A and B are shown apart, each in its own frame.
Chain A
Amino acid sequence: MSCGSPLEHRSRSSSIAWFAIAALGAGCGGASTQAREASFGAAVEAAADESWVSAARDAYRFASATSAEQEQYDRALLILARSLERMGLTYAASLWYLDIAHSRRNVELVAPATEGLERIVEKTDYDRLTLEEGFLARAEVSDAGPKATPFLSYQQGLDSLKRGLTKWADKQFAAIPSDSPYAKRAQFAQAVAKIADGDLSEGRRELRALLDKGSLPTDVKEEASIALARLALERKKYREAIRRYQSVGHLTARRPELLLEAAWAYYYSGDSRRALGSLIALDAPAYGRIIAPERYLLEALSLRRLCQFEPARVAATRLKVRYRDALSDLHQGTPPHQSEALLEASRRRGEARDSARLYRMLQREREIVEDNARAFGDEFNKELLRIYDTGLAEARRRETADLRRESRLLAQELVRAEDGVRLVLHDLSVGLLRGRERPLGPPEAGAVNLSASADRVSYQFIGEFWTDELDDLVVTIEDRCLK
């Protein structure tokens, strides 16, 4: 603990592991300088002590002064990557892991490097283009070891699936041991691929079978439920869709699109009050910057079903109020990729979301680099800053490109929604003339019984949004339609 970095701490078990890594190279050193040997040794020692800053610095010092042909070169890089990963510098770590795994200079280190990449990919934001499409999903990695091979098979099978190479995808997925969590994910991917190919019944059957298996990773279980909910919605099986959406209700806090989808299911099933409840949840401050124009149209339609004409009109026109800035920019002709309002919303959607998150992650990690500048030493610090500055520039470039596309799509969506508002308003005007008559559709569900019982409580909504209640909101508005 020579540097005293707050990031450095000890752990007996991981110390043993690091000694082992160092031992792999012990006794095999070539003709290198004493200083270099000392750096390597210090790196090994620091890693064993979980002094990550020192380990990284010394490993870099060794590697930068050593030929890549030397055996210890890659071992040093592995210590470097591992140390950076422990420090939270996952981007730089991932690049060094990638270098070790891709170069195959030392085949023994391909496995730990790949495992390092797996950890980063599964835990954090990461550079998808470089890591996945540049290597993990495409490269032939024959020495990844038993731990990382299922992960790689899954990645590569998924990539093949996306590119229509089903035969190979199936082989790659088949290579995943059945007890690996990736096996279930692979099955899920194959089911979804069938759905995407139009084989809905088979895809649905496979998803159901997957859910019936039990011992499913939570995320796969959730995704399968969501997929089945969407399928049910498409097939107009609204009750089933609602049941599926309710089973993943806890996800709505971070996936607001599920609230909107559930609202459509409620609406189509004839339960306009529940639909309105789901839509109210979308007003939560957490979703403040999300643009989902469909929400207001659905609210207007739900209120229309209850013959609440004025509230319906207000709801429809709220779209314009809510997205005033974005619409104003569009009406003024501001290019979508120059509209701050659209850009802000676009950063939360599609590929732009990934690039925006990558950019923010790089910013955070660069700050960590700056915080440890002295401990890293000039040379290493300079290299890390170079890596992060390059990464930031690239992330910014991607974000700009993605935002250009996404903001255009968003603009089109807004414009279509604005059109929808006009249609809804027209429909409301005509509806008013026709009297309090409910539009065609399923019978409207009755008002919700709000009385308390042994297993139920209810609260009046007072404008506070609680994440665990988002999918339980219901609006108790009067049905004004004539029976």
Chain B
Amino acid sequence: MPQVGARQEAGKARWCLAIVLMAGSVVAGCTKPSGVASDPSEVELLRIQITKVRHAIDETRRAIATSSGAPYLPRLHVRLAELTSEEAKYHYRIAVERQRGASQDALHVPQVKLLKEQAIGMYQQVLSRYPEFDRTDRVLFYMAYEHRELGEYDKMTAALEKLAREHLTSGFRPQALLLLGDYHFDRSELSEAKGYYEDAVSGPHSRITGLAHYKLAWVWVNQGQCEPALKQFEKAVRAVEEEPSRDSAQDSDAAELAEFQQDIDVRRAAVVDLVYCYTDRRSAVRALEYFQDLSYDRATYIAALERLARRYGNSENAAGVLRVVRELLRLGPASQERMENVRQMHTSIRAQGKYERVGSDVALMTDAYVRYSSRVELDESERARLGGEFEVYVRDLLTRGQDRLRKASGPKMVEAATDLSVGYAAYLDAFPSAEKHLAMTLNAADIFADAGELYQAGQYSLSAASGLEGEKKRDALYDAVVRFQDSIHGKAARGAYADRYLAPSALRYAAVRLLRFPLNKQQRLRVRFALAESYYDQGDYREAIDRLTAVSYEFPKSTEAQAAVRLVLDSYNTLNDPLGLVHAGRRFLADGTPTPGLRSEIQPIVVAAEQRMVDEISLAAAGDDGGDLTRLLAFARQNKSTPLGERALLNAFVAARATGDSERMFLIGEEIAKNYPNSEQIAGILLSLGQMAVARFDPDRAQVFLRRAAASGHSQRNQLLIAVGDLYDATGDWEKARDVYLEAAKAEQGGARAAPLEKLSRLLERRGKYQELVRLIDEGDSALSLDLVATLAVAKIASGETEQAETLLQQVLGSQGRASPEALARAHYGMGELMYRTADQYPELSSPEFVEEYVAIVDIAQQSYVSAARQGDPEYRATALARLARLSELSARKLRTVRLPSEIDGATRAALRKALATRAKRLDQTAKEALATCRKQAWAAYVFVPAVRKCMAGQSVDFTFPNYDQPKVRRANAGGPSGVDALRARIAQNPEDRDALRDLGIRYLKSGDPHVAKMIFEAAHERGGGPRELNLLGIAHHRIGDNAAAMRAFARAAKGRLEAARQNLAKVLRQLSLQKSAERALAKFPRGRSGGDLLDSSDLR
């Protein structure tokens, strides 16, 4: 879910925030510290210490007195000296406490001097009395220290040098060298000082190594050598960081020396003090990184930065100042120094004249001021003065930055403006009472706009407007409107989605107030448009439509008017209100488009909307329940004779088709045809209706619609007419079929005529109308296929035009494999028939030559018939075989009746007779075999054409050409059965519903329309029907008068073991006087199951 995603995205930010929250809450929960502690007086404490040390001195003196000659005596003397020195120290500190505020140099404390001299005396006594004492180095060091305290520097140096010279491994030596170095350093004897310091750092690493480096650095500084000085300062810092926790030399010495070491934080002092040389020698660019890296802690870093700021300030290095001051303002505490840093920042930015980061700088400046301004030490006048002063600085920088911004462009300008916007926001927050606050608010609005933060810019304009009057207020409000508008649509707009979401409301808020002012026409236009558009932007489309429409009419021909029109149309579109869109679009078109160029844009939108509207209604009409076309049809009638009305009707037609409502389809189709005769869809509609009628087994309607479809200019006119012809043919009306095929053939040119002519030729052939065929088909027609040529040739033979026929037959037979089996069957048959005629008309065989020639003719004829029979055309195969039988019978008879000439001798006569008899016998055998083969057609291929039936009767055929059963013509106005709508609906829903098909076919048979029943049963069989449907198909064929087809159907059904079909087949054969064949049928097909209908049954099931 989106909320979840938002949570996850906010994860890191939440944890950042957690630090802040945690800080507050933890601090708030800190346990209460104990109350205020009190300290005793410092002087009192020192007095107590003096008392204590005096006791110790007394004790030590007593010990010395009683320890004469003891090996530890020198140690007791040394301790006594140290205690004496300690007492001196306490006296000195009391003096300091009592004269606090006075210069310590002015202190004169005789008691201290006396005690220290006593201590020195004690040390000298040890050195002189006990030269073998093992801690002479320690004594020398302490003695030197006391000399130093008393200002006896010569004695001090003598002691220290002796120590350094004679005690090379002493833990006191480095400290001694340091003191010697300091002594010379203070006297500006730098070379000497350097020598001692270098000696100090060259020894083993100790606690004073860092300090020695530090001192050495200062020597270099004083010698004007900054580079080595920097190195020594750096070494000082590193040395302290690497300082061993305990001196490697003498641990006890180190512990003692700690007291004498100078109270200086070397790490801090080195970092701060190297500033001088750093600024002298190194670039300011890396200053922050350098000092941050070197600084041990934040305080050191800040101290170094403060010094850096002063140094860069003194050297007028504006870039350096800026770098350092920015960091100081970011990290440093609020103080007078920070206020000075703010001044420095202002001066440096001005001096540099670079304002790219001035916004961020201003934010730092104001933040520093705010953190300091509440301090109690600032009285009212000082606070006001400081505030006034800084307000001017900040304002000065911001306005200069803004001026410079005008010279920039592109991404750099946006970047600079973004930075500046930070500064403006900080200024406006920090100085709300400033005199120039209002002017700066206006500036801020400009800057935020330049930064692409247009929503914010608008809000600042709005804020400014609330403090302005008159024209200035108007201008500010106008700016607010423009910026809010740009924040929604402007390419340069940046900012959060929420801003864009809020901007339209803010725009209205500003616009409503702005419209109270008089505006010029251009301003009024922009505001009115922006106001209207804001409703669009927030999805209040109805309000947007009203306001945008008003703008388009009030300010025609303006760019905004164009946009308004587009937005109005888009609003309707978004509202899914095509009706509204159409009305609005028409209005814009009718009343005069607000801008002429828009007309061509609106027109297609309106048209598309109109179509969409119809589609929407259509979609609603095509609901789950089969649809309610009422609304769609009503809409079509409302928009009669318009493209909209036409589309509505077309959609209604499609919807009716989709739901299988064929009756409504016919009605709507008729309405389309009537009202929109020129519709581009009309041919398709009529074709659909025709197809629907075919599917409904309604040949009358099918013929009408298919004819009309063809007449309406359908691209497949020829096929449609052929389909019509086929329908006539199927209903037995061959004459009408002929006419339609002819019409189709005449309407076409070239090869396209082949199909209708072929249909025509087949029709006439089946009907035995050979003369008509010869009359109607021109043999020179280039469209004739070899099939047609073959058929025409046969027809010409039948018509007596044998010569032309022979030419045509040769054309087919010489086609070298291009002719189809059907064409070849006809061609061979035709050739056979021509030979048959020759043989039949052959004169008496009165000479051997005649006999020989006759036999040759007969052979050719036989071969032709055999070739014809082999081509596979069932009708021609059967006829060819029957004719072969006939020819063979006739030829045999003729050969047997040959009258041999008398002059032939007996032996020859006998031989000839025998040969003729043999030949005749062979012909008889051929005839018999041909008839047998012909009969087999019935049982092998269920071919029961008249020729086969002759064969079955044992007769050769006496007709010349294939003979066909002639179906009856369908009864005019058959009408069909009533009450079959439910069945039709079932079939419309599921054309494979065989039960429905069968029931419907039976209803047609019962109503006396076997032609349609035949169509239905054929469909049922094609769609997977079984013996029952085949048996019914046979009944239908039988009633039409097509016995061959009927018996073929019965035979197939009988093979499927339907007893009724078996009986029906036998019955038809009996009716055709083929008693034996009937018996044979009953014998061939085993008894089947019951359930079928008998031919004479009055109650078909």
The answer, yes or no, to whether A182 is at the interface (CB within 8 Å) is: yes
The CA-CA distance from A386 to B383 in the complex, in Å, is 12
- Against B, the Cβ 8 Å flags (1 = close, 0 = not) of A153-169 are 01110101111010010
Q: Please determine whether A230 and B14 come into contact, CB atoms closer than 8 angstroms.
A: yes
The CA-CA distance from A460 to B8 in the complex, in Å, is 35
The CA-CA distance from A394 to B376 in the complex, in Å, is 13
Task: From the candidates A24, A98, A334, name the one contacting B509 in the complex (CB within 8 A).
Answer: A334
The answer, yes or no, to whether A352 is at the interface (CB within 8 Å) is: no
Known contacts A115-B36, A196-B15, A332-B505; is A121 also within 8 Å of B3 by CB?
A: no
In the complex, which residues 360-406 of chain A have their Cβ closer than 8 Å to any Cβ of chain B?
386-387, 390-391, 394, 397-398, 400-401, 404
| CB of B3 to closest CB in A, whole Å | 5
The answer, yes or no, to whether B34 is at the interface (CB within 8 Å) is: yes
Known contacts A130-B371, A130-B374, A138-B332; is A147 also within 8 Å of B34 by CB?
A: yes
The bracket for how many chain A residues form the interface is: 35 or more
In the complex, which residues 402-439 of chain A have their Cβ closer than 8 Å to any Cβ of chain B?
404, 411-413, 415-416, 419-420, 423-424, 427
In the complex, which residues of chain B have a beta carbon less than 8 angstroms from the beta carbon of A391? 374
Number of interface residues of B (CB under 8 A): 77
- Against A, the Cβ 8 Å flags (1 = close, 0 = not) of B277-307 are 0000000000000000000111101110000
- Which residue on B lies nearest to A218, using beta carbons? B29
Known contacts A95-B375, A99-B376, A119-B33; is A390 also within 8 Å of B26 by CB?
A: no
Q: Please determine whether B298 and A160 come into contact, CB atoms closer than 8 angstroms.
A: yes
- Which residue on B lies nearest to A193, using beta carbons? B19
The answer, yes or no, to whether A127 is at the interface (CB within 8 Å) is: yes
Task: From the candidates A21, A134, A268, name the one contacting B334 in the complex (CB within 8 A).
Answer: A134
In the complex, which residues of chain A have a beta carbon less than 8 angstroms from the beta carbon of B497? 416
Q: Please determine whether B18 and A230 come into contact, CB atoms closer than 8 angstroms.
A: yes
Q: Please determine whether A122 and B19 come into contact, CB atoms closer than 8 angstroms.
A: no
- Against A, the Cβ 8 Å flags (1 = close, 0 = not) of B1066-1084 are 0000000000000000000
Known contacts A189-B23, A192-B19, A230-B14; is A168 also within 8 Å of B506 by CB?
A: no
| CB of B365 to closest CB in A, whole Å | 15
Q: Please determine whether A223 and B22 come into contact, CB atoms closer than 8 angstroms.
A: yes
The CA-CA distance from A167 to B501 in the complex, in Å, is 44
In the complex, which residues 299-316 of chain A have their Cβ closer than 8 Å to any Cβ of chain B?
301
Q: Which of B12, B36, B297, B499 has the most CB of A within 10 A?
A: B36
The answer, yes or no, to whether B55 is at the interface (CB within 8 Å) is: no
- Against B, the Cβ 8 Å flags (1 = close, 0 = not) of A15-28 are 01111110110001
Known contacts A121-B27, A134-B334, A218-B29; is A23 also within 8 Å of B19 by CB?
A: no
The answer, yes or no, to whether B264 is at the interface (CB within 8 Å) is: no
- Which residue on A lies nearest to B496, using beta carbons? A412
Q: Please determine whether A333 and B2 come into contact, CB atoms closer than 8 angstroms.
A: no
In the complex, which residues of chain B have a beta carbon less than 8 angstroms from the beta carbon of A168? 297-298, 301
Q: Please determine whether B8 and A234 come into contact, CB atoms closer than 8 angstroms.
A: yes
Task: From the candidates A182, A234, A397, name the one contacting B30 in the complex (CB within 8 A).
Answer: A182
Task: From the candidates A147, A330, A400, name the one contacting B502 in the complex (CB within 8 A).
Answer: A330
The CA-CA distance from A294 to B8 in the complex, in Å, is 14
Task: From the candidates B23, B330, B335, B499, name the one contacting A163 in the complex (CB within 8 A).
Answer: B330
Known contacts A198-B12, A333-B508; is A420 also within 8 Å of B334 by CB?
A: no
| CB of B471 to closest CB in A, whole Å | 22
The answer, yes or no, to whether B35 is at the interface (CB within 8 Å) is: yes
The answer, yes or no, to whether A46 is at the interface (CB within 8 Å) is: no
The CA-CA distance from A411 to B34 in the complex, in Å, is 46
- Against B, the Cβ 8 Å flags (1 = close, 0 = not) of A183-203 are 001001100110110100000
- Which residue on B lies nearest to A304, using beta carbons? B1
Q: Please determine whether A192 and B22 come into contact, CB atoms closer than 8 angstroms.
A: yes
In the complex, which residues of chain B have a beta carbon less than 8 angstroms from the beta carbon of A129? 370-371, 374
Q: Please determine whether B1 and A127 come into contact, CB atoms closer than 8 angstroms.
A: no
The answer, yes or no, to whether B760 is at the interface (CB within 8 Å) is: no
Q: Please determine whether B499 and A223 come into contact, CB atoms closer than 8 angstroms.
A: no
Interface class of chain B by DSSP: helix
Q: Please determine whether A130 and B375 come into contact, CB atoms closer than 8 angstroms.
A: yes
Q: Please determine whether B498 and A412 come into contact, CB atoms closer than 8 angstroms.
A: yes
The CA-CA distance from A168 to B332 in the complex, in Å, is 14
Stretch in contact with the other chain, from B37-45, B185-193, B347-355, B601-609: B37-45
Known contacts A160-B298, A218-B29, A333-B507; is A99 also within 8 Å of B375 by CB?
A: yes
Known contacts A98-B376, A198-B12, A217-B29; is A333 also within 8 Å of B335 by CB?
A: no
In the complex, which residues of chain A have a beta carbon less than 8 angstroms from the beta carbon of B299? 140
Task: From the candidates B22, B100, B335, name the one contacting A102 in the complex (CB within 8 A).
Answer: B335
The CA-CA distance from A172 to B30 in the complex, in Å, is 18
Q: Please determine whether A118 and B25 come into contact, CB atoms closer than 8 angstroms.
A: no
Q: Please determine whether A223 and B333 come into contact, CB atoms closer than 8 angstroms.
A: no
In the complex, which residues of chain A have a beta carbon less than 8 angstroms from the beta carbon of B331? 138, 163, 165
The CA-CA distance from A182 to B508 in the complex, in Å, is 54
The answer, yes or no, to whether B16 is at the interface (CB within 8 Å) is: yes
In the complex, which residues 372-422 of chain B have their Cβ closer than 8 Å to any Cβ of chain A?
372-377, 380, 383
In the complex, which residues of chain A have a beta carbon less than 8 angstroms from the beta carbon of B16? 196
The answer, yes or no, to whether B108 is at the interface (CB within 8 Å) is: no
In the complex, which residues of chain B have a beta carbon less than 8 angstroms from the beta carbon of A400? 429, 432
The answer, yes or no, to whether A335 is at the interface (CB within 8 Å) is: yes
The CA-CA distance from A14 to B36 in the complex, in Å, is 8
The answer, yes or no, to whether B611 is at the interface (CB within 8 Å) is: no
Q: Which of B18, B34, B432 has the most CB of A within 10 A?
A: B18
The answer, yes or no, to whether B459 is at the interface (CB within 8 Å) is: yes
Q: Please determine whether B34 and A23 come into contact, CB atoms closer than 8 angstroms.
A: no
The answer, yes or no, to whether A455 is at the interface (CB within 8 Å) is: no
In the complex, which residues of chain A have a beta carbon less than 8 angstroms from the beta carbon of B377? 99, 103
The answer, yes or no, to whether A33 is at the interface (CB within 8 Å) is: no
The answer, yes or no, to whether A464 is at the interface (CB within 8 Å) is: no
Known contacts A333-B510, A335-B463, A415-B501; is A227 also within 8 Å of B30 by CB?
A: no
- Which residue on A lies nearest to B512, using beta carbons? A333
In the complex, which residues 330-362 of chain B have their Cβ closer than 8 Å to any Cβ of chain A?
330-335
- Which residue on A lies nearest to B432, using beta carbons? A397
The answer, yes or no, to whether A112 is at the interface (CB within 8 Å) is: yes
The answer, yes or no, to whether A212 is at the interface (CB within 8 Å) is: no
The answer, yes or no, to whether B32 is at the interface (CB within 8 Å) is: yes
The CA-CA distance from A220 to B27 in the complex, in Å, is 10
The answer, yes or no, to whether A171 is at the interface (CB within 8 Å) is: yes
In the complex, which residues of chain B have a beta carbon less than 8 angstroms from the beta carbon of A465? none
The CA-CA distance from A20 to B25 in the complex, in Å, is 34
Q: Please determine whether A420 and B2 come into contact, CB atoms closer than 8 angstroms.
A: yes
The CA-CA distance from A119 to B432 in the complex, in Å, is 32
- Which residue on A lies nearest to B484, using beta carbons? A333
- Which residue on B lies nearest to A235, using beta carbons? B11
Q: Please determine whether A394 and B38 come into contact, CB atoms closer than 8 angstroms.
A: no
The answer, yes or no, to whether A449 is at the interface (CB within 8 Å) is: no
- Which residue on B lies nearest to A68, using beta carbons? B377
Q: Please determine whether B36 and A135 come into contact, CB atoms closer than 8 angstroms.
A: no
The CA-CA distance from A19 to B38 in the complex, in Å, is 9
- Which residue on A lies nearest to B463, using beta carbons? A335
A-B contacts, 20 of them at CB < 8 A, read A20-B36, A103-B377, A108-B39, A130-B374, A133-B371, A139-B333, A140-B299, A158-B23, A168-B301, A182-B30, A196-B12, A223-B26, A230-B14, A230-B18, A332-B505, A333-B505, A333-B507, A335-B506, A390-B380, A415-B501
A residues engaging B (CB < 8 A)?
Answer: 13-14, 16-21, 23-24, 28, 82, 92, 95-96, 98-99, 102-103, 108, 112, 115, 118-119, 121-123, 127-130, 133-135, 138-140, 145, 147-148, 151, 154-156, 158, 160-163, 165, 168, 171-172, 181-182, 185, 188-189, 192-193, 195-196, 198, 217-220, 223, 227, 230, 234, 264, 268, 294, 297-298, 301, 330-336, 354, 386-387, 390-391, 394, 397-398, 400-401, 404, 411-413, 415-416, 419-420, 423-424, 427
List the 10 closest pairs (A to B, CB-CB), nearest first.
Answer: A20-B38, A333-B509, A219-B29, A412-B498, A134-B334, A401-B429, A139-B333, A95-B376, A140-B299, A333-B505
B residues engaging A (CB < 8 A)?
Answer: 1-4, 6-8, 11-12, 14-16, 18-20, 22-39, 41, 100, 296-299, 301-303, 330-335, 370-377, 380, 383, 429-430, 432, 459, 462-463, 496-499, 501-502, 504-510
Q: 14 additional contacts, CB 8 Å, given A28-B100, A138-B333? A: A121-B30, A128-B24, A130-B334, A130-B374, A135-B333, A139-B335, A168-B298, A181-B30, A196-B18, A223-B25, A333-B505, A400-B429, A423-B1, A423-B2
